[in-house]
Structure 1
Amino acid sequence: MKTTSDLDQLLGEIRACRACAPYLPHTPRPVIWVFPETKLLICGQAPGRRVHESGRPFTDPSGDRLRQWMGVDYDTFYADHRIGVAAQAFCFPGTNPKGGDYPPPPRCAALWRDRLFETLPQMDLILLVGSYSIDWFLGDRAKSNMTETVRAWREYGPQLLPLPHPSWRNTAWLKRNAWFEEDVVPHLGQRVSDILSPPLSVRSDLPQGTMTL
């Protein structure tokens, strides 16, 4: 049976990992945000440049949109350890001169992903954010493309929920697929609300803005 110390040890190994150093245009900075209390895990693609610089996941416009979908504010997203983030690759892969970031290198998932999921506590909900995460988790269960997989979201519940990436690059996709915000987003918001209930509270004996479970 895995313990909190097992998770802490693995997280330390991940954060110290430099396996991709020969292939990256910058010093690796693995970003992972999981805790023993995590019940809702967000599995995206890889950190972008802003996340690489901040060391915290989704500190960018994609994070703003994702939090809107989830129905949580910025402070709750980072203060409530029932929310965790573990992307397909933990380091920023660099920017493609043709536009956008490079895809997550598969060597990261090969090194860490199975070990991580063996160590994490049981998740109530795992958000599969974008095609790389969808393909890794669902394999042959995925449909012919990301759109059709997200459209079939009911088939993967209650633990897995495929989502498009919340990047601004998908704004046109959201406009073409209004059913996502009409059907999937309310379901996601309700699941998140259930998992985070009771919510974090603010104690009067703590400085303003300090939140606690």
Structure 2
Amino acid sequence: MSEPLTALLEAIRACRACSDLPHGPGPVVQAGYGARLRIIGQAPGRKVHESRVPWDDPSGVRLRDWLGLSIDEFYDPENVAIIPMGFCYPGKASSGDNPPRSECAPLWHQRLMALLPNVSLTILIGHYAQGCYLGRNRKGSLEETVRAWRDYLPGGWLPLPHPSPRNRPWFARNPWFEAELVPEVRSVVRSLCFQERT
């Protein structure tokens, strides 16, 4: 790992910009200079806040299955960079968790992206990541954006829904996603990010 990246990751993990968080700051991030796959999600949940391991929950199990990655592949920072929109657990809302804090992405994302020169594919999970990185190119709904994944792939983007168990109603309404798109996702991830490493 490059020294500038190591120093930046240390700074992110030590960040206390959001000291008013209900469970306190606890930034979670994973990145290595050689990473070819970048995952931009929402924010850590309570379980991840406690373990400090990204996607260390049922959502992570489903996400790894979607991507066709083993635990070892997923948690190797030289394979996969994991960068949430909000690095800390934002606390509980009346339904699910609070949105990711808005301070994080402007504070850290651009600096972090500049030190990941080998990324060939970025997975955008959920509407916060898609809104930030796709901007006006995002479709009118999450379903439309995910269905249009081929439109974004030439730019290195792949939009996905959040794999949370709370999203069961979305998966029930959109059975095409796991039946048709997930096999395509596995193929794209393997060919763009892992082909020379298998």
Answer yes or no: same fold by TM over 0.5: yes
Letter in 2 for 1:20: C
Cα RMSD, aligned residues only: 1.6
Letter in 1 for 2:5: L
* Counterpart selection for 1:6 from 4, 8, 21: 4
Report the counterpart of residue 60 of structure 1 in structure 2: 57
* Counterpart selection for 2:90 from 93, 118, 123: 93
Secondary structure class of the residue paired with 2:103? helix
The two structures have a TM-score, normalised by structure 1, of 0.87
Report the counterpart of residue 174 of structure 2 in structure 1: 177
Distance 1:118 1:79, change over 3 A: closer
Report the counterpart of residue 209 of structure 1 in structure 2: none
Report the counterpart of residue 144 of structure 1 in structure 2: 140
* Counterpart selection for 1:70 from 62, 67, 71: 67
- Per-residue deviation at 1:84? 1.7
Q: Distance in 2 between matches of 1:33 and 1:134?
A: 20
Secondary structure class of the residue paired with 1:76? helix
The alignment covers a number of residue pairs equal to 196
Report the counterpart of residue 128 of structure 2 in structure 1: 132
What 5-or-longer segments of structure 2 have no aligned partner?
none
Letter in 2 for 1:151: R
Q: Distance in 2 between matches of 1:34 and 1:75?
A: 14
Amino-acid identity (%) = 46
The two structures have a TM-score, normalised by structure 2, of 0.93
CA-to-aligned-CA distance 1:3-48 (integer Å, 9 cap, x gap):
9222112111111100001x20122111001111110011000000
Q: Distance in 1 between matches of 2:68 and 2:45?
A: 22
1:163 corresponds to 2:149: no
- Per-residue deviation at 1:80? 6.2
1:108 corresponds to 2:143: no
